[in-house]
Chains A and B, each alone.
Chain A
Amino acid sequence: MKSGSNLEKILEKGLFAVTGELGPPKGNDIEVVKKKAEFLKGYVDAINITDNQTAIVRMSSIAAGALLVQMGLEPVIQMVTRDRNRIAMQSDIFGATALGVKNILCLTGDHQSFGNQVDSKNVHDMDSIQLIDCVRIMRDGGTILGGEEQIEGQIKMFIGAAANPFGDPFEFRVIRLAKKINAGVDFIQTQCIYDMKRFKEWMRMAGDMGLIEKVHILAGVTPLKSAGMARYMNKNVSGITIPDEFINRMAKAQKPAEEGIKICVEQIEELKEMDGIHGVHIMAIEWEHKMGQITEMAGLLPRPAVS
């Protein structure tokens, strides 16, 4: 075992994994974390804690992750390269593992111009691929980056990263996946999938390159709440395209929220059957209370207990 995390155990046993997502509060209100975590409890194998997503200042992912550990839940802490240099990131990895965190998701992070600190300076001392490599060196080599210096203790992290099959240039997206695998990634979470045709094409290319045997791919899904949200995401969120078919279904639905969940469940059903997909990452953003319903309807319950 690389980390001994629940997520690692589930994936290594060949079971279909389910992960969720929790956005920490814009402040230090622990109750927000607890409330969202309770909604996810029992329905997922691990919970992603976002790291100041869309460059909005929030409680740190490691602090919120430590709160989850205290609750007996398993966090996947996201770490973006935008806000910290290699000194701070390695230091935080020491700290996170000391607090019981066993999974990390290495990300670039949204540009600071999207957030509430537009005049800040982005760091990107490392990029996401270099961060994967860094965590792997810390875990497998037992040293810090570029150093002979032995780490006091052991860094047991299950290393994840993102993949966006909907970003451009499309042909490069599998090469980027290959780079992340070469850097040492254990699992991949994809961007929200709506365009199934393009996703299947990306998976085919990854298969042709022999990549799907080398990494656990968790397919990302996000339930749509309304036609308005679908249109907004399609137009404004870079790296996301939503086919007209879904937008029309949402627009025509009597109960759009129920229709959104129905679409999401259909997607999960389809993804479950796909070669190389080892789990789903359900990003029910500010809709954590729907996670029980979604996982139930998709036949993902009960979550297995592994040791």
Chain B
Amino acid sequence: MIKAEQKPVDEILDFLKPHRKILLAGCNACVAVCHAGGEKEVGILSSALKMARKKAGQKIEILEDCSTRQCEPEFVQELKEKAEEVEAVLSIACGVGVQTVARMFSDIPVYPGLNTTFMGETDELGVWIERCQACGNCVLHVTGGVCPVARCAKQLLNGPCGGSQDGECEIGNDVPCAWQQIYDRLKTIGQLHRMEEIIPVKKWGRESRDKGPRTISREDLKL
């Protein structure tokens, strides 16, 4: 799922300076799971902003709401009445949600309250780690279910560089070497021969982030 972190309150206060009435819109999907932008966080951030503005002698009125999924126009539509009452929207959904709100309410400013960081899994309570970069052509079947694009600091496709030492990446900070993990996995599942295959150059330009926004169009699902 998408993981995000709240921006520093001071940064949010800075871009809300010109406004006296806003809508603080959360999202009950991914960002609620990582405790950054769900209903609970809407309440906490709203109180923090109101207190800070009161202290600064510039009160702010904040309407609150939380969409089922802020990346879906039909759910964002439900915010319409509140959006019409305010000067701006502060969205604490991921970057996708912020953009859906901006598209739906095109005549008012929309500000991001979060930094969207990655697609990842829960490592332990309160700890999430990046696992996928949506490169557009999955190689996990070759790499034992461990992604070198997301997990190797150099996105190498043909095994560990010379800097892999005792399971650690050369960058240090206890970052595990993704290729050591791939090696261990392939060994365990009896597919070490996979390490011998040369993975050819990736089609970043056609399959990945470099061709403008990617679109999936499914004729079978269209109305």
Q: Do A and B come from one complex?
A: yes
Q: How many residues of A contact B (CB 8 A)?
A: 38
**What would 13 more interface pairs be, CB under 8 Å, given A110-B170, A127-B156?**
A108-B154, A108-B156, A108-B162, A122-B153, A126-B201, A127-B155, A127-B158, A167-B163, A168-B165, A168-B166, A169-B183, A176-B158, A239-B163
Please state if A145 and B201 are interface contacts (CB–CB under 8 Å).
Answer: yes
Considering the chains assembled together, what is the distance between the CA atoms of A182 and B197 in angstroms? 10
Considering the complex, which residues of chain B in the window 156-172 have a beta carbon less than 8 Å from any beta carbon of chain A? 156-167, 170-171
Q: A-side interface residues toward B, CB under 8 Å?
A: 81-82, 86, 108-111, 113-114, 122, 124-130, 133-134, 145-146, 162-164, 166-169, 172, 175-176, 178-179, 182-183, 191, 238-239
Given contacts A110-B170, A111-B171, A169-B180, contact A124 B165 (CB under 8 A): no
- What 6 A-B pairs are tightest by C-beta distance, nearest first? A164-B162, A238-B170, A129-B158, A238-B163, A108-B161, A239-B162
Considering the chains assembled together, what is the distance between the CA atoms of A36 and B112 in angstroms? 54
Please state if A169 and B196 are interface contacts (CB–CB under 8 Å).
Answer: no
Q: Which residues of B contact A86 (CB under 8 A)?
A: 201
Considering the chains assembled together, what is the distance between the CA atoms of A109 and B200 in angstroms? 19
Given contacts A167-B165, A169-B180, A239-B165, contact A125 B160 (CB under 8 A): no
Q: Which residues of A contact B184 (CB under 8 A)?
A: 169
Q: How many residues of B contact A (CB 8 A)?
A: 29
Q: Which residues of A contact B202 (CB under 8 A)?
A: 125
Considering the chains assembled together, what is the distance between the CA atoms of A248 and B114 in angstroms? 54
Shortest CB-to-CB span from A173 to chain B, Å, is 9
Shortest CB-to-CB span from B196 to chain A, Å, is 6
- Looking at A129, A133, A169, which has the most chain B CB atoms within 10 Å of its CB? A169
Q: Which residues of B contact A167 (CB under 8 A)?
A: 160-165
Please state if A129 and B180 are interface contacts (CB–CB under 8 Å).
Answer: no
Considering the chains assembled together, what is the distance between the CA atoms of A307 and B153 in angstroms? 44
Q: Which residues of A contact B13 (CB under 8 A)?
A: none
B1 within 8 A of A: no
Please state if A125 and B164 are interface contacts (CB–CB under 8 Å).
Answer: no
Considering the chains assembled together, what is the distance between the CA atoms of A183 and B198 in angstroms? 8
Q: Which residues of A contact B159 (CB under 8 A)?
A: 129, 172, 175-176, 179
Q: Which residues of B contact A134 (CB under 8 A)?
A: 201
Shortest CB-to-CB span from B194 to chain A, Å, is 10
Specify which of B170, B195, B198, B201 is in contact with A146 (CB 8 Å cutoff).
Answer: B201
B204 within 8 A of A: yes
Q: Which residues of B contact A128 (CB under 8 A)?
A: 158, 161
Considering the chains assembled together, what is the distance between the CA atoms of A127 and B148 in angstroms? 12
CB-nearest residue of chain A relative to B159?
A176
Please state if A169 and B160 are interface contacts (CB–CB under 8 Å).
Answer: yes
Considering the chains assembled together, what is the distance between the CA atoms of A125 and B200 in angstroms? 11
Shortest CB-to-CB span from B15 to chain A, Å, is 23
Considering the chains assembled together, what is the distance between the CA atoms of A122 and B156 in angstroms? 11
B177 within 8 A of A: yes
Shortest CB-to-CB span from B198 to chain A, Å, is 6
Please state if B177 and A113 are interface contacts (CB–CB under 8 Å).
Answer: no
Q: Which residues of A contact B200 (CB under 8 A)?
A: 130, 133
Please state if B154 and A122 are interface contacts (CB–CB under 8 Å).
Answer: yes
Q: Which residues of A contact B161 (CB under 8 A)?
A: 108, 128, 167
Shortest CB-to-CB span from B105 to chain A, Å, is 33
Please state if A111 and B163 are interface contacts (CB–CB under 8 Å).
Answer: yes
Given contacts A124-B154, A239-B162, contact A168 B171 (CB under 8 A): no
Q: Which residues of B contact A169 (CB under 8 A)?
A: 160, 164, 180, 183-184
Considering the chains assembled together, what is the distance between the CA atoms of A85 and B168 in angstroms? 26
Shortest CB-to-CB span from B130 to chain A, Å, is 16
Shortest CB-to-CB span from B156 to chain A, Å, is 5
Shortest CB-to-CB span from A285 to chain B, Å, is 16
Q: Which residues of B contact A133 (CB under 8 A)?
A: 198, 200
